[in-house]
Structure 1
Amino acid sequence: MPVIQILPHPEYCPQGATVSAPAGTSICEALLDNGIPIEHACEMSCACTTCHVIVRKGYDSLNPTEECEDDMLDRAWGLEPQSRLSCQAILAQQDLVIEIPRYSINHAKEGAPT
């Protein structure tokens, strides 16, 4: 079972965390299942960027991005070459190290009109 090391994040896991999840699980599901409340405003439908993560180790083991994810990532705050939407990044057998960006674009959380 792959292990995900989450680097410290001031809101979600200030000390950092290590979780495991079965291959075939999305990073987002793995985090949520292990008590790390990463934002996922669109309920994991690839319609926002609130679950954006940066994969610091193990990026190439994940499934390839699809056009919908690539289009959404263009809107993500702090985009890097190894950025993924955690709801679309599916675990294989390799361990990962991820970073959850400090900020996300979440109009609902920021109080913008809906």
Structure 2
Amino acid sequence: MPVIKILPHPEYCPQGAEIQAPTGTSICEALLDNHIEIEHACDMSCACTTCHVIVREGFNSLEAMDECEEDLLDRAWGLEPNSRLSCQAIVAQKDLVVEIPKYSINHAKEKH
């Protein structure tokens, strides 16, 4: 089972973490299943950018993003060439290293 290494984030994962994720699950689902409460204001429907992550290693193992995700990413805070919406990035066979950006464009956080 692939491993996702999450780099330290002051709010969501202060110490960083390594989790196992079944192939075919989204990065967002894997984080949430492991109690890393990343924002996902649209409930993972590819309608916002609050679950934006930067894939530091393993980016090319993910399926190519579709046009909807590409368009939305243009609005994400801290966009980088290896940015993805974690709700759309499906874990393949390779291990990943992801960074959750310091900020998101969400103005009102809610518990999900």
Map of 1:22 onto structure 2: 22
Map of 2:70 onto structure 1: 70
Q: Report SS of the residue matched to 2:108.
A: helix
Max radius of gyration: which structure? 1
Q: Supply the distance in 1 between the matched residues of 2:93 and 2:102 (Cα, whole angstroms).
A: 27
Map of 2:98 onto structure 1: 98
TM-score of the aligned structures, taking structure 1 as reference length: 0.94
Q: Supply the distance in 1 between the matched residues of 2:63 and 2:89 (Cα, whole angstroms).
A: 6
CA RMSD of aligned residues (A): 1.1
Q: Supply the distance in 1 between the matched residues of 2:107 and 2:97 (Cα, whole angstroms).
A: 28
- Following superposition, which runs of at least 4 residues in structure 1 exceed 4 angstroms of deviation? none
Unaligned ranges ≥5, structure 1: 110-114
Map of 1:56 onto structure 2: 56
Q: Supply the distance in 2 between the matched residues of 1:68 and 1:107 (Cα, whole angstroms).
A: 22
Letter of the 2:19 counterpart? V
Unaligned ranges ≥5, structure 2: none
Deviations 1:32-52 (A, max 9, x none): 000100000000000000000
Identity, % of aligned pairs?
Answer: 80
Q: Supply the distance in 2 between the matched residues of 1:11 and 1:35 (Cα, whole angstroms).
A: 12
Q: CA deviation at 1:21?
A: 1.0
